[in-house]
Amino acid sequence: MSRQPPKKSKGNKKALLPAIITVVVLGLTIVLITKTGIIVPAEMALKDTNGRLQSLVFSPFSKLKLIWKSYLDLVNVREENEVLKAQLAQLENEITTYREALIENRRLKQLLDIKESAPWKGVVAHVIGTDIASWRAVITIDAGKENGIDVDMPVLCQGGLLGRVIESSMAFSKVMLLTDYHSRVAALVQRNRARGIIKGEGSRGCKLDYVKKGVDIQVGDTVVTSGLDGVFPKGLLVGKVKAVGPGDRSDLFQYIAVKPSAKIDEAEEVLVLLRPQKQDE
């Protein structure tokens, strides 16, 4: 059985003509619309409507997406926050350490200046404790006989004279401060060379005793060691006169309150001056 080619029917030819006409008319219409711009307002209105619909539908989705993203961010932020907090704590710790080192550096520089200007060689030590009897102005330092320290050696800190060594073990020493009730230092007023004895008065500071009435002493006068006691070398800064009074009628001497130049309550590092004969040994 042979296959015969399909015959072209008259109906097909009739349908082709309207189709061509439709295409031509549509083409002409499109060209006309694009060229003349007649339909632009309608197109824009349609686009706007579409846009509104799109935004209406998209809005919940976008919010949902935002919530999801925020949640993810929060999770990350929480972790990041913890990491940052840890870093902040570490940095604060480091800053404190550096600040402490800076302050210590300043103090040591001041001590170094004193050390260079002091008449004898010195040993730097740290304050590690105070006396259990709180009315005694005595501190413990972390240097002793093995550092060349012995009893009656002068001790300085930033500002001036701090006191003298009263006990010494191999690695530690006790220092009696200027303000201790039992402390005595031979001193003189720098301006007029008036001599006296510096006595400790506890929390009130010190007083310059045995200066006769009538000797001209003024508030602000500088008091230095006189070297007559054989313990402290001459010329170490003790403090400044903060008050002068006539004392009682029966007193032969003036009352002269002295504020120590050394920061006694804040001393953390001290300089112990080694007596020359000890160095020779």
Partner 1 sequence: MNSGHLGCYLEKTCMKAALVFITWIYISLIVETTWCVFCGSTLLHIDLIPALICWYALNDRLLRGTFWVIGAGVLASLFSSLKFFLFPFSYVTAFFTVYFIRSNVLELTRFHAYLITAFISVEILVVQLAGSGNPELLWPWGLIQAGLNMAVAPIVFWICDRSLFILSEIVSKFHHEK
**265 part of the interface to partner 1, by CB under 8 A:** yes
Residue among 135, 146, 151, 170 that touches partner 1 (CB under 8 A): 135
Residue number with CB closer to partner 1 (36 or 203): 203
Residue 251 Cα distances to 146, 245, 247, angstroms: 46, 11, 6
What is the three-class DSSP state of 136? coil
* Total of residues contacting partner 1 (CB under 8 A): 26
We find the least distance from the C-beta atom of residue 205 to partner 1, in angstroms, to be 13
Distance CA 111, CA 101 (A): 15
Please list, in sequence order, all residues whose beta carbon lies within 8 angstroms of the beta carbon of residue 8, skipping any fewer than 6 positions away.
none
Question: Least separation, in Å, of the C-beta of 174 and partner 1?
Answer: 5
Least Cα distance to 269 among 104, 97, 146, 102 occurs for 104
Torsion angle (degrees, nearest 10) of CA 208, 212, 218, 222: -40
Rule CB under 8 A: say whether 257 interacts with partner 1.
Answer: no
Please give the C-alpha separations between residue 44 and each of 39, 107, 156, 190, in angstroms, as whole numbers: 9, 80, 92, 100
107, 115, 121, 136: residue in contact with partner 1 (rule CB under 8 A): 136
In the list 140, 190, 222, 229, the residue contacting partner 1 (rule: CB under 8 A) is 140
Cα–Cα distance measured from residue 29 to residue 138, given in angstroms and rounded to the nearest whole number? 111
Compute the least distance from the CB of residue 167 to partner 1, in Å.
Answer: 7
When binding is defined by CB under 8 A, the residue of 80, 113, 152, 268 that contacts partner 1 is 268
One-letter identity of residue 34: T
C-alpha 222, offset from chain centre: 34
Task: Please select the residue that binds partner 1; options are 36, 134, 250, 277, rule is CB under 8 A.
Answer: 134
202 binds partner 1, rule: CB under 8 A? yes
DSSP annotation of 8 = P
**128 lies in the site for partner 1, by CB under 8 A:** yes
Amino acid at 180: D
Q: Is 108 in the site for partner 1 (CB under 8 A)?
A: no
Can you tell me which of 114, 123, 125, 137 binds partner 1, judged by CB under 8 A?
137
Q: Exactly one of 167, 213, 234, 252 binds partner 1 (CB under 8 A); which one? A: 167
Using CB under 8 A as the criterion, which residues of the chain lie in contact with partner 1 when the complex forms? 127-140, 166-167, 174, 176, 181-182, 202-203, 264-266, 268
